[in-house]
Structure 1
Amino acid sequence: MKKQSVPLAEAYRLLEPGPVLLLTTADPRGGRPNVMTLSWHMMMEFEPPLVGVLVSGRDDSFAWLEANGECVLNIPTADLAPQVVACGNSHGRRRDKFRLTGLTPSPASRVGAPFIDECYASLECVVHDRGWVARYNLFVLEVVAAWAEPRKRPRTLHHRGWGEFAVAGSVLRLPSAMK
């Protein structure tokens, strides 16, 4: 089969970024939690575990992560797809995404941002390196505590762009505010 040209603005859809995450932060002025959907991340080191995350400078989560220097990376499973999309399609400044989605925040053990009870796993993180934040909005996080349910093979979501997700080889079509 002959390949066809892909618009460069859609090249990201060709790469598998790993499971979709729900990144939680806490408002530095009062501790109110926020949650955002995050697909752009990468493992950078094993010990200590370092994770690079790209967070848009337009998001409250960016400001709160920069101010507090900590967050939780929560790993949802496929059964949470509607909540994941709802978090990604709404803005925390205007609404409480936990109330909107029915997700349950719980205190983490080492950071001020909350776990999400319904997620398969949660990684408590502190900002390890801010060297790429100003140029790329890329935070390097150090995982300081990790928690997971003892399931062997969770069915995680993998964002493929424009409301399309892969789940264990299947594809889900979900609403997207991105047009």
Structure 2
Amino acid sequence: MRDLPLARVYQFIEPGPVVLLTTAERGHLNVMTMSWHMMVEFEPPLIACIVGEGDYSFAALRRTGECVIAIPAAELASTVVGIGNCSGRDVDKFARFGLTARPARLVTAPLIAECFVNLECRGIDMRLVRRYDMFVLEVIKGWIDPARRNARTLHHRGFGRFAVDGETISFRSRMR
């Protein structure tokens, strides 16, 4: 064993797939790349996520309390990275990256047609936003593209490196 620099810990405790988070405020749509999120509860599904105060999406999410978490397949890797490397302050990311915004049913933020899962979310706990930029969101409506059942996801490994999920193994669950 060798020392692991603490700044690299996140590369090994990666919480899940890289996702796209959309917001809408006063008719302006935005999308950001996000990899810092985790499930908090199963029913209702609660997701905690970090949206930094410096992110253009932060103000819209804080004011509206609504967003969509869209899960892209690995085929969108270059788009996902491109979205993460520019700001909605400067560019219309939907136009630049050829994303198709679709109306959500319960929130004003748009779904992304190119993503195989879209989760409409409302903020239910904002107490940790000021201190940690952490929003706790309740998924209030979910969408899945049945034609893309086996889509593979991206997982951020740090410093421009990503892993693509692979083989799935199954074990008998004893959970009810």
Q: Same fold (TM over 0.5)?
A: yes
When normalised by structure 2's length, the TM-score is 0.91
Secondary structure of the corresponding residue to residue 15 of structure 1: coil
Aligned CA-pair RMSD:
1.2
Cα deviations across residues 67-122 of structure 1 (Å, max 9, x unaligned)? 00100000000000011000100011001111111111111110000001000100
Gaps of 5+ in 2: 168-176
Matching residue of 1:6: 4
Structure-to-structure mapping, 1:51-66, within 5 angstroms = 51-66=47-62
Gaps of 5+ in 1: 171-179
Structure-to-structure mapping, 1:29-108, within 5 angstroms = 30-108=26-104
Deviation at 1:169, TM superposition (A): 4.3
User: Percent same amino acid among aligned pairs?
Assistant: 55
Secondary structure of the corresponding residue to residue 57 of structure 1: coil
For 2:125 and 2:65, how far apart are their aligned partners in 1?
Answer: 10
Aligned length: 166
Verify: 1:131 aligned to 2:127, yes or no.
yes
When normalised by structure 1's length, the TM-score is 0.89
Cα deviations across residues 31-71 of structure 1 (Å, max 9, x unaligned)? 21000000000000011110001111101111100000100
Is the contact between residue 123 and residue 147 of structure 1 (CA under 8 Å) also seen in structure 2?
Answer: yes
Structure 1 segments, 4+ long, off by >2 Å, are none
For 1:133 and 1:168, how far apart are their aligned partners in 2?
Answer: 30
Matching residue of 1:153: 150
Deviation at 1:148, TM superposition (A): 0.4
For 2:77 and 2:36, how far apart are their aligned partners in 1?
Answer: 17
